[in-house]
Structure 1
């Protein structure tokens, strides 16, 4: 994705209408509200094109079918969560032809409008409540800003849940960010990785640092 510039100062107080992230070219963007099938098919075709030209057809066919099945299943699961966007690494990184096991899922939370004349809950209190409702006891919580908006960051290791199709533990980092101009809307970017097979290994640590750097490129879109 191309680098994005910060919005002009005159738009900073206007309601946000979207967002922009800077991601390396090895990552694919799958929009989940419209254009999903086109994006999925493009990723699959790019992946198929990297298969060895001389590979036997009786091996390639089943491989393509299984790859497509798993990929479409991941996208369908994301859509079931009413997510906005899914980002996945689909091309090798570096000289080792390595594709990390990771993903970024973008969702939106809309809270009911507060009624009455009672004291309003502050955005920081709302953010903490949203993140701590189901937070594990060992979750790491911190707060700050993302492009000028209040943000809370949560990091934890999620255990494997085979009954839900999750066969290995994963390292997860979530940013929940107050949407400018609309106090009832919250943007959520959730990163997940299995590292090198251990969510606490060096690869997982490096990928978490990478995701924090990606979130530093986050910018609101105001039109």
Structure 2
């Protein structure tokens, strides 16, 4: 990830001789995704190749839909460009199937800038997210193997069916995980437009978030 270190953190004291080296941030992280999820690295040099490979895979054996194929490719590249501009590191798309239907879901991993003051508690961060989020947003503090994180869940109107006028909803689940020895968050942003099984997918999203581990040097 290349996460910058934050200098001058307070030594809280343990009765032992303190380590004279400053806390170091992790250099990377790892996540475990279910089988059937496709990773798109949000690096300009790799992103286009990854999107092209996905489109070719999904349209394999279908030669009579060049417009649909081109539209899917353009939509994915637009999503990736927007995510890169917002600090996105990687994106995962669900290709899991239930019978003939692909279960639509996604995960975007983002590294925020140094936005968190050293003395700001996660409770304060949670209150700010609740205040700025959509109506009905649920905000809690959860404990992951990496430590405490802010979890938010929301359900918002995504679109409206032109034929029936039915409102279509999207469910989002976000984890704001403090990066050790920095003022940044690693944000795991899960989403699904499949309202009828949103609760089941949220359980899956929570399970994925609990697989997060830091890699690389850190003595925070």
Normalised-by-shorter TM-score class: 0.7 to 0.9
What are the Cα deviations for residues 44-94 of structure 1, in whole angstroms up to 9, with x where unaligned? 222222x35xxxx4x3322322222222222223223231111112x3425
Instruction: Please name the residue that 2:132 is paired with.
Output: 134
The SS at the match of 1:110 is coil
The structure whose residues are more often strand, as a share, is 2
Contact 2:137/2:152, CA 8 A, preserved across alignment: yes
Q: How does 1:15-34 map to 2 (within 5 A)?
A: 15-34=25-44
Distance 1:44 1:82 in 2: 24
Count residues in correspondence.
Answer: 188
Matched, 1:209 2:203: yes
Alignment correspondent of 1:109: 112
1:186 corresponds to 2:185? yes
TM-score normalised by structure 2 residue count: 0.74
2:92 to 87, 91, 94: 87
Asked if 1 retains the 8 angstrom alpha-carbon contact of 2:40 and 2:91, the reply is: yes
| Aligned equivalent of 1:8 | none
Question: Superposed, which structure 2 residues align to 1:61-76 within 5 Å?
Answer: 61-76=66-81
Distance 1:106 1:61 in 2: 31
RMSD: 2.5
Could you say what secondary structure the match of 2:70 adopts? helix
Q: Please list, as runs of the form range in 1=range in 2, the aligned pairs for 1:116-195 lying within 5 A after superposition.
A: 121-160=119-158, 168-182=168-182, 184-195=183-194
**Cα–Cα, structure 1 residues 153 and 125, in superposed 2: closer, same or farther, change >3 Å?**
same
Shift in alpha-carbon separation, 1:169–1:77, aligned structure 2, 3 A? farther
TM-score by length of 1: 0.74
What secondary structure does 1:159 align onto?
strand
SS at 2:35 equivalent: coil
